[in-house]
Amino acid sequence: MATETVMRCADALARSPYAERTMETTSRRVAAEVARTIADERVAHADEIVRAAAAAAKDTATETARQVAEETSASLAAEAAARTLKESREAVAEALGESREAVRETLGTERRKVEEELARTRAELDDTQGQLTEALGRTRRELAEAREEVVLSAGRFARDEAVRVVAEAVAEQVPPVVEVRVAEADPVRVGGHSHVVLPDVLLALGAGCHVLLVGPAGTGKSMMARQTAEAFGQEFHALSLGPTTPMSKIFGYYDAHGQYHGTPFRSAFEHGGLMLLDELDSGHPGLLAELNQALSIRSCAFADGMVAAHPEFRLIATANTYGTGGDRQYVGRQALDAATLDRFVVIDVPVDEDLEERIALAHAPSRPEDTLRVIEEVRRLRATAAEKRLPVMFSPRAGIDAAKLLQAGASVEQAIRWRVVRGMSAAHRSALGLAADGGEGAE
Ligand SMILES: Nc1ncnc2c1ncn2[C@@H]1O[C@H](COP(=O)(O)OP(=O)(O)OP(=O)(O)O)[C@@H](O)[C@H]1O
Ligand SMILES: [Mg+2]
């Protein structure tokens, strides 16, 4: 419509000058109006456009906004999600950290608990182990004690058995009683251990003879004299002679008050009894000469007068030599003159090794085996000394004393060293096959 108006106005304008002018003015006005209208239309249109545009814009904006919003919300959501994720992550991390910490703490606590428990268990274990070790030690000790006891009992049993066997053997070997019958007289009996020559001595004495027992030291001479007194049921008197033994010891003396003092010899001579003159070869020659008279004529001049011998007077003398004077072993012995010797039945008293063994065993009933070892060594030494003619003595007395030492608790080595080979020179030790250091064979 605006265009038609414009066209009409333009035609009228073109046909008149006025019109021209008017047209011009009108056209101008119309133009202005048109222009205005157009402008208005345009404006309206523009407004419409603007509205449309606005609407569109609004729509677009809305869409955009929506998109944007969506995007934004998406991004926001993403961001939120990311943040949430991050936060979650952080939270998780924190939680994780906390958990870790908690776990660590729990772990630490648990570990401590476990460690404590472990330590307690270990301590208990140590304790138990200690108790076990102690119990084991105690058991071991008890076992050792029991074993020792068993060994001891076995040893005791074996020893008792050995002693019993030895005692039986001894009982079998040794007739408990030595019986000697002299002519028509009653038989005489001796119980216990006795020397192999005892019956000879009893026989000689029973025959009314005086007896001189000659033999090395410790073979049992003095003991035999005592046994014979018992066998004859007689009182036993003894006097040991030495170079300084005075006459008065045999024949008695008067004191300052005129009182006579008798002697054992006087008692036996006058009232009957067995007189032992020990170590006759040590006696002074003058004293022996005085004795000769009493022994031959059975009458003796005592300080208070002559006394006749009792029929039951018996005399045993002992000597280590045959009256030939001293030698390297028996120094200071007197030579017994022929007259003295002539008054005695001389009986050799050698070492009776069976007797030596029996006596030694009797003195050490708890150590028979050790005693036999000692006796064996004594015999070996004795044989070696005799073979090599060494001036050393291994008497039965030594073996018997060694047995007493064993019984008292000494070792075999001690018993031999203290009693058998003591004080011996190095040369003799070597000749006898003994160790130079004094160790006499280990236990
Ligand atoms: N028949 C026996 N019964 C028990 N012990 C005995 C017996 N014979 C000897 N003895 C003992 O032997 C040891 C030596 O004996 P005795 O003293 O009689 O010997 P001896 O020959 O007289 O010695 P010595 O020549 O040194 O005087 C003594 O300890 C003694 O107790
Ligand atoms: Mg003697």
Q: Return d(Cα 194, Cα 230) in angstroms, integer.
A: 12
Residue nearest to atom 9 of ligand 1 (CA): 220
Per-residue DSSP letter, 391: S
Residue with the nearest Cα to atom 25 of ligand 1?
217
Q: Which two tokens stand for residue 49?
A: 């456009």
Q: What would the pLDDT profile of 37-51 be if each residue is shown by its tens digit?
A: 666 666 666 566 657
Neighbours of 279 (CB within 10 A): 20
The CA R_g of the chain, rounded to the nearest whole Å, is 73
Q: How far is the CA of 91 from the centre of ligand 1 (A)?
A: 117
More confident residue, 143 or 166: 143
CB within 6 Å of ligand 1 — which residues? 192-195, 217-223, 318, 320, 359, 396-397, 400
pLDDT at 103: 59
Instruction: State the Cα–Cα distance between residues 261 and 281, nearest whole angstrom.
Output: 26
Q: What is the CATH number of domain 195-350?
A: 3.40.50.300
Candidate of 177, 222, 358, 401 to mutate for ligand 1, largest count of ligand atoms within 8 Å of Cβ = 222
Task: Give the whole-angstrom CA distance, residue 325 versus residue 380.
Answer: 28
Query: For residue 221, how far is its CA from the centre of ligand 1 (angstroms)?
Result: 6
**Residue 128: predicted pLDDT:** 75
The pLDDT assigned to 164 comes to 59
Name the residue with higher pLDDT: 438 or 369.
Answer: 369
What pLDDT does 302 receive? Answer: 92
The Cα 362–Cα 7 span in angstroms is: 185
What amino acid occupies position 420?
A: V
Q: Kindly report the pTM of this predicted structure.
A: 0.61
Minimum-distance ligand 1 atom for the alpha carbon of 194? 1
User: Which ligand 1 atom is the nearest neighbour of the CA of 223?
Assistant: 18
233 forms beta bridges with: none
- pLDDT at residue 442 in the model: 40
Nearest to 407, CA basis, from 159, 161, 147: 159
**Cα 77 from Cα 317, distance rounded (Å):** 148
Which ligand is closest in space to the CA of residue 399? 1
Q: Please tell me the distance between residue 227's alpha carbon and the centre of ligand 2 in angstroms.
A: 13
pLDDT > 60? residue 176: no
What's the mean pLDDT in 7-11? 70
Q: Is 331 helix (H, G, I), strand (E, B) or coil?
A: coil
Residue 223 Cα to ligand 1 midpoint, Å, equals 5
Neighbouring residues of the ion ligand 2, judged by CB less than 5 Å: 222
What is the distance between the alpha carbons of residues 193 and 122, in angstroms, rounded to a whole number?
73
C-alpha dihedral sign at 430, 432, 438, 441: positive
Please give the Cα distance from 372 to 166 (Å, whole number): 11
Greater confidence, 308 or 57? Answer: 308
Provide the token pair at 53.
């545009």
Percent of the chain with pLDDT strictly greater than 90: 40
Closest of 219, 260, 269 to residue 239, by C-alpha: 269
Average of pLDDT values for 59-86? 65
Q: Which two tokens stand for residue 359?
A: 């006596």
| Nearest-angstrom CA–CA distance, 253 and 262 | 7
The DSSP bridge pattern shows strands 344-348 and 305-308 to be: unpaired
Which residue is it, tokens 């007689």? 234
Amino acid at 365: P
N residues, the chain: 443
Cα-to-centroid distance, 179 and ligand 1 (Å): 20
Counting from 1 in the atom list of ligand 1, the atom nearest the Cα of 278 is: 27
Band (374; pLDDT cuts 50, 70, 90): very high
| Cβ atoms within 10 Å, residue 249 | 18
What is the separation, in whole angstroms, between the first and last Cα of the chain? 163
pLDDT band at 192 (very low <50, low <70, confident <90, very high): confident
Q: How many CB atoms lie within 10 A of CB 151?
A: 10
User: Cβ distance 388 to 430 under 8 Å?
Assistant: no
Q: Residue 170 above 60 pLDDT?
A: no
Q: How far apart are CA 33 and CA 18, in angstroms?
A: 19
The string of pLDDT tens digits covering residues 234-288 is 999 999 999 999 999 999 999 999 999 999 999 999 999 999 999 998 888 888 8
